């Protein structure tokens, strides 16, 4: 991993922007009495209105941004996801899609085009997007690329009631704020951010909330190496999924993200946690710099999400590597319009990027959850790893 010394230097406008956010964060710390939880800090860094990484107007996704995601790498990803959606649509009456955190809007566009080619368009394609900047980009991209389908796409501010259909979340949970814990000398402390002599730094104290204490108690037996062990807890993703479960009447939820089941997440060797920052395609582990300019993310504990699903009457229908999910969905069999050897090579390279274990095939997982479906979703059984949850 590059050190922070190797990171590109932001230009003066970006630095000014970051300074504004830093001032805002310092005010929040002072208002809170001297420290804020890392989750509150991450929330401000990513989502402070007009200033946070996702709320402000810089390029984030793709080659010109800070990181890239599967839908940006290739439309084959979304087109394959559409095959899984069709499987669910065959079992439900009302066919709607709800996508969380739709990024550039590319996944929505590619899914809608693929469904259209199968005569399986949804009645509505709802999007819930916390970033106003991303919402605007999505509207623009969808209006430009698929003007004939724009009426199907509806942006919602909150969860619909009694939803029937398919819910999608690709790399959304990893962008939710996490709490940071430090196990050491037989105790567990929460890690906070404080402002000392006008500089942000980490500090430790008691756990800030009851849910976190409960979670820490649950994971303590899993952490065999409790000597200087750092980890994260994503309470936001858990409560997001619980609310989603209560609104889903029938259908499926596909959660796609990088992460592990509990044994992988709390592996003794993962003693520095999974917190990562990305700035212009360089990964590093210091979230206390480049506020508002870099992405901050943590891996997903899929066991915790599966437990929430189970506790809220969802069926845990499958847990696969992204490679198995895409291969079962027929990524290698989709019709492509290659006209020359260059196109063929491009398609092969994209499939490799999405499915090879050394690329995104293994780190990324798909948790498939269902509610009230009569038949199992056969494609999510390939390489199913629910036993590891
Ligand atoms: C890493 S980006 C992924 C974008 C897109 N899904 C993709 O794969 O290219 C995370 C996205 O999730 C959004 N997001 C984060 N938390 C969210 C939430 N609670 N509800 C809806 N969107 C959220 C962010 O604004 C951003 O659009």
CA-CA distance, 351 to 76, in Å (whole number)?
8
CA-CA distance, 375 to 363, in Å (whole number)?
29
Question: Would you place residue 61 in the very low, low, confident or very high pLDDT band (cuts 50, 70, 90)?
Answer: low
| Domain coverage including residue 252 | 4-388
Give me the pLDDT at residue 337, please.
73
Closest Cα to atom 11, ligand 1: which residue? 101
Cβ(170) – ligand 1 distance below 6 Å: yes
Residues 67-98: tens digit of each pLDDT: 789 999 999 999 999 999 999 999 998 999 99
Give long-range contacts, CB 8 A cutoff, 24+ apart: 192-196: 192/35, 192/36, 192/37, 192/38, 193/25, 193/29, 193/35, 193/36, 193/37, 193/38, 193/41, 193/288, 194/29, 194/34, 194/35, 195/26, 195/29, 195/30, 195/34
- Pick the closest to residue 214 from 239, 243, 235, 183 (CA basis): 235
CA-CA distance, 322 to 356, in Å (whole number)?
9
Give residue 234 CA to ligand 1 midpoint distance, Å. Answer: 15
> In this prediction, what percent of the chain has a pLDDT beyond 90?
84
> In this prediction, what percent of the chain has a pLDDT beyond 70?
96
Residue 283 pLDDT greater than 70, yes or no? yes
Mean pLDDT of 249-273: 95
Who wins on pLDDT, 146 or 337?
Answer: 146
Give me the pLDDT at residue 135, please.
94
Give me the pLDDT at residue 225, please.
79
Residue 1 pLDDT greater than 60, yes or no? no
Mean pLDDT of 243-256: 98
Cβ distance 177 to 40 under 8 Å? Answer: yes
Residue to probe by mutation, ligand 1, list 67, 172, 277, most atoms within 8 Å of CB: 172
Question: Would you place residue 377 in the very low, low, confident or very high pLDDT band (cuts 50, 70, 90)?
Answer: very high
**What are residue 379's phi and psi, to 5 degrees?**
-70, -20
Residues 298-354: tens digit of each pLDDT: 999 999 999 999 999 999 999 999 999 999 999 999 877 767 788 889 999 999 999
Give me the pLDDT at residue 148, please.
98
CATH code for the domain in which residue 56 is found = 3.40.50.12710
Atom of ligand 1 lying closest to residue 70 CA: 8
Give me the pLDDT at residue 386, please.
97
Give residue 275 CA to ligand 1 midpoint distance, Å. Answer: 17
The residue count of the chain comes to 389
Question: Would you place residue 114 in the very low, low, confident or very high pLDDT band (cuts 50, 70, 90)?
Answer: very high
Please state the domain count of the chain.
Answer: 1
Closest Cα to atom 10, ligand 1: which residue? 172
């Amino acid at each position: 991993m590059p050190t922070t010394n190797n990171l590109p230097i932001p230009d003066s406008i970006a630095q000014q922007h970051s300074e504004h956010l830093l001032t805002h964060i310092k005010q929040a710390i002072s208002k809170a009495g001297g420290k804020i939880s890392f989750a509150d800090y991450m929330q401000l860094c990513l989502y402070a209105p007009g200033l946070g990484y996702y709320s402000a107007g810089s390029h984030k996704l793709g080659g010109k941004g800070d990181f890239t995601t599967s839908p940006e790498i290739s439309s084959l990803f979304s087109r394959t996801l559409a095959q899984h959606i069709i499987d669910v649509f065959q079992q439900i009456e009302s066919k709607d899609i709800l996508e969380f955190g739709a990024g550039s809007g590319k996944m929505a566009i590619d899914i809608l085009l693929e469904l259209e080619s199968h005569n399986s368009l949804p009645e509505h394609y709802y999007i819930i997007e916390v970033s106003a900047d991303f919402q605007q980009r999505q509207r623009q991209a969808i209006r430009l690329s698929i003007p004939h389908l724009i009426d199907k796409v509806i942006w919602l501010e909150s969860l619909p009631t009694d939803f029937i259909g398919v819910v999608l979340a690709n790399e959304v949970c990893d962008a939710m704020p996490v709490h940071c814990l430090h196990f050491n000398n037989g105790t567990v402390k929460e890690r906070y951010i404080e402002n000392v002599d006008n500089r942000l730094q980490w500090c430790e104290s008691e756990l800030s909330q009851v849910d976190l204490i409960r979670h820490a108690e649950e994971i303590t037996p899993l952490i065999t190496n409790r000597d200087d062990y750092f980890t994260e807890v994503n309470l936001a993703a858990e409560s997001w999924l619980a609310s989603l479960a209560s609104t889903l009447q029938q259908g499926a939820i596909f959660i796609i993200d990088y992460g592990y089941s509990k044994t992988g997440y709390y592996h003794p060797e993962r003693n520095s946690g999974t917190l990562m920052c990305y700035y212009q395609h360089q990964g590093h582990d210091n979230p206390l710099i480049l506020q508002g300019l870099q992405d901050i993310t943590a891996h997903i504990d899929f066991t915790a999400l599966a437990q929430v699903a189970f506790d809220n009457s969802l069926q845990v229908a499958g847990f696969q590597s992204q490679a198995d999910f895409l291969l079962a969905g027929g990524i290698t069999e989709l019709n492509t319009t290659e006209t020359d050897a260059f196109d063929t090579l491009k398609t092969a390279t994209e499939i490799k990027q999405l499915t090879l274990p050394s690329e995104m095939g293994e780190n990324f997982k798909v948790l498939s959850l269902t509610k009230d479906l009569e038949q199992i979703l056969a494609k999510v059984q390939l390489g199913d790893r629910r036993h590891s949850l």
